[in-house]
Amino acid sequence: MSDRTGPASASVRLPAHTWFDVRRGSSHVRTGLPCQDAAAVWRGRLPQGQVTILVVADGHGDSKYDLSEHGARLAVQTALHCLRSFCRRFNTSSSLLYDAIRHDFAHRLTRQWRQAVLRHYSENFPQDVELLNRPSINLYRRYGTTLLFSLAFDDCLIGGQIGDGDMTVTHTGGDVGRPIPAAERLIANETHSLISADSIRLWRFCRWTLHEPCLICLSTDGLSNGMASDESFGDFLRSLVRNIEQYSFAETVKVVPGFLDRVSAGGSGDDVSLALFWQADPRRKKKK
């Protein structure tokens, strides 16, 4: 997994920067709740070439999901492991990888996440022999979380999502694309998640051709919910791109954590996670 900040490993052909942060929500700070979001970025060389994976997860907030911060963390770790494994095994073409992810990722991930949850539970609650011997949905429910990932290589972005959260691709011209369109919300702010009945069928996947330069952005719903409108969310993304162009990626991300804290404090109070991947245009750099 990459560092929390800073440019990813250097790539001559495609200079790229990645960054992520997980901010504890203002209401969580106030009430003493842990941060229930998780995020990670991985960038490295796989058979596809230089691959960048962004993952964010949002553990459920209600008291009946009391271990959801672990659920989110385990989901992020499992997703990274699973995606890297898919990249290694389905590497002859991007179409093959996309098909494999679309058809097989959800149930492979769900199974591995459940195994990870069971391991975590047995390590932390070894005395609960009855539940460990017969793990039921009640156990997994305590770890409930959403999950959102993107995997980028060459000009190809493959994404997947269960539950809420936002995946966007913002170009220098100001266009904000949504590879996975926002779905209608469920009743009472509920969301689909890894613990939903039939969860493997609730995933949505996308493939998207990237135009450089662009900013791929994954965020939990704490960010977009904390904004006044969809337009404000779009403005925020466009401002990131403008600042990256004007000042550099490293300078831009320095001020983002403070901004995320303000969004949480002034909005829903929810945790906020943000993962970014900036793919600069090498041709532009040459001109400079």
CB of 225 to another protein, least distance (A): 20
Q: Is 282 in the site for another protein (CB under 8 A)?
A: no
Task: Tell which one of 137, 188, 287, 288 touches another protein (CB under 8 A).
Answer: 137
Residues touching another protein: how many (CB under 8 A)? 35
Q: Does 201 bind another protein (CB under 8 A)?
A: yes
Instruction: Mark the segment that binds another protein (CB under 8 A) among 9-17, 41-49, 89-97, 143-151.
Output: 89-97
Q: Is 245 in the site for another protein (CB under 8 A)?
A: no
Query: Is residue 113 close enough to count as binding another protein by CB under 8 A?
Result: no
Structural tokens at position 11: 């790539």
- What distance in Å separates the CA atoms of residue 86 and residue 105, rounded to the nearest whole number? 8
The piece of 19-27, 44-52, 198-206, 221-229 that touches another protein (CB under 8 A) is 198-206
Map residue 63 onto helix, strand or coil: helix
Binding mask 29-48 for another protein (x = CB under 8 A): --------------------
DSSP category for residue 188:
G
**Amino acid identity at 245:** E
The residues facing 167 across adjacent strands are 218
Min separation Cβ 91 and another protein, Å: 9
One DSSP character per residue, 116-171 reads HHHHHHHHH-TT-HHHHHS--HHHHHTT-B-EEEEEEETTEEEEEEESS-EEEEEE
Q: Which of 63, 123, 133, 184 binds another protein (CB under 8 A)?
A: 184
Residue 107 as a binder of another protein (CB under 8 A): the answer is yes
Q: How many helices (H) and strands (E) does the chain have?
A: 10, 10
Number of CB atoms found within 10 A of residue 134's CB: 8
Rounded CA separation 41/254 (Å): 17
Residues forming the site for another protein (CB under 8 A)? 89-90, 92-96, 98-99, 103-104, 107-108, 110-111, 137, 155, 175, 177, 183-184, 192, 198-209, 211
